[in-house]
Amino acid sequence: MDFDLGAEATALRARLRALVSAHFDEGFLGAFTDDPADLAATQAFCRLLAAEGLLTLAWPVDHGGGGGSLWDQTVVREEMWAHHEPRGAQYMGLNWVGPALMAYGTDEQKARHLPPIAAGEVIWCQGFSEPEAGSDLASLRTRAEPVGDPSGADGWRISGQKIWTSYAGMAQWCILAARVGGGERHEGITMFLVPMDSPGIEVRPIRSMLGPHHLNEVFFDDVPAGPEAVLGELGGGWSVIKTALAHERVGIARYARCERLLSALGAELAPHWDDLPAPLHAAWARALVQVRVARLLAYRTVHAQETGGVPDVIASAARIAVTQCDQSVAEVLFSAVEHRALEAKAEAPVHGAVEDHWRYAQAATVASGTIEVQRMIVAKALLRGEPV
Ligand SMILES: Cc1cc2nc3c(=O)[nH]c(=O)nc-3n(C[C@H](O)[C@H](O)[C@H](O)COP(=O)(O)OP(=O)(O)OC[C@H]3O[C@@H](n4cnc5c(N)ncnc54)[C@H](O)[C@@H]3O)c2cc1C
């Protein structure tokens, strides 16, 4: 299999790598560390990418993008994830809030929200999961009640609780799933675009091994929202969620980081390769094969997107492969460096990256929908006789 995406993609990769290495040192591990300078550096880098026309390379020109192909966007995504996502939390707005707005937003919503995302100036969070409504998202209970006119023409009041909301403490906006009217399960769900500084919103950080800023609970207590806050049809939120999740599941190119770490650590270990235990040699080769399979399945999703579909089943198949390769690679890397993964990051940046990668890999098969749920989506499609 030839993974070469062509000369233009190679040039784009080189340009992105040069920018990353000019603005981040080798030990950079992403925005969510104990050092606030890392977060600030990612925010500055987003504005730089925007100025260079690289932040929304594949968005349509009308929406502030570069009009590039989905393959250009794939290259950007791979290089960013390979280098510990120097776009910080903004990849969420770029990868799926923006596309969801393009697909379902009114002209006013697009004009208001797309330019700040394209300029790298705004962070969005995604308020979907709730206590007892994660895998079974359709059972969510956060409610939006109309104020005055029952159609919502006078606005809404939103109450409920979200959980595991990434970046809620730093986000300016939330794309929020809430229940409206008497509709049951999927039928009652509506999407709202809510500023995070609205009265009645409280964010409580959840301490976790993913580091600061990442996971949060968000409480909504009678939060006001205007009629213009509704994204898509009233009761039509499930379609928006499906679009957002299909983009999300393919938007996280952790296979690119896996391959970069295998390559970097492989180069370091090469002189002592024969001293490593034989089972590790075999596990290393198996992990590399998994990485390549994950990449191939991710490319299949991009191809399906390119030909106009919402490739949710194919995206789930890719996501299963990506999260599994993430965990296999984490184990192989950790077995190779052992306790040295905890050594000072400045002296041994690859070792620090192994430790960071291992921690995040533990959550990979839960975030964006668990691996069991992804498997059921694929299995149901197979049973319906659909090509997967
Ligand atoms: C790092 C991280 C970031 C996240 N960021 C966000 C975010 O920004 N916004 C957001 O809304 N959510 C976010 N989430 C939440 C995530 O989407 C949920 O954790 C996930 O959907 C699982 O839901 P749950 O935690 O309620 O687990 P549950 O749904 O309670 O699942 C528990 C276990 O039961 C299994 N299970 C559940 N139902 C079935 C079934 N029918 N058949 C077989 N097995 C089943 C699951 O696979 C899992 O193993 C994030 C999660 C993580 C880990």
DSSP string, 125-150: EEE--BTTBSTTGGG---EEEESSST
Rounded-to-10 torsion of CA 207, 361, 381, 239 = 40
CB of residue 363 inside a 6 A radius of ligand 1? yes
330-345 b/e (C-beta count within 10 Å ≥ 16 → b): bebbbebbeeebeeeb
- In Å, how far from its chain's centre is CA 77? 10
pTM comes to 0.93
> Which listed residue (79, 85, 130, 248) is catalytic?
248
Task: Dig out the tokens for 174 from the structure.
Answer: 């939330």
CB of residue 374 inside a 6 A radius of ligand 1? no
Give the integer Cα–Cα distance in Å for 117 and 55: 9
Per-10-residue mean pLDDT of the chain, 388 residues long, equals 84 98 93 89 95 93 90 94 94 90 96 95 96 96 96 97 96 97 88 98 95 92 98 95 78 92 94 93 96 94 81 88 96 93 78 93 93 95 90
DSSP assignments along 82-112, one per residue: HTT-TTGGGHHIIIIIHHHHHHH--HHHHHH
Length of the chain (residues): 388
Which residue type, as a one-letter code, is found at position 188?
Answer: G
What single DSSP character describes residue 295? H
Rounded-to-10 torsion of CA 5, 17, 63, 307 = 20
Pair 320, 378: CB distance under 8 Å: yes
CB atoms within 10 A of CB 104: 20
CB of residue 372 inside a 6 A radius of ligand 1? yes
Domains, the chain, in order of start with CATH, read 7-118 (1.10.540.10), 124-235 (2.40.110.10), 252-383 (1.20.140.10)
Which is the closest atom of ligand 1 to the Cα of 368? 17
CA of 365 to the centre of ligand 1 (A): 9
pLDDT at 43: 93
Pair 169, 213: CB distance under 8 Å: yes
Give the integer Cα–Cα distance in Å for 93 and 196: 14
Which is the closest atom of ligand 1 to the Cα of 166? 8
CB of residue 370 inside a 6 A radius of ligand 1? yes
- Would residue 248 show up in a list of annotated catalytic residues for this protein? yes
What single DSSP character describes residue 308? T
Task: Dig out the tokens for 146 from the structure.
Answer: 């109309």
Half-sphere exposure of 325 (CA within 13 A, CB side): 30
Q: Is 266 left (phi over 0), alpha (psi -120 to 50) or beta?
A: alpha
pLDDT at 344: 64
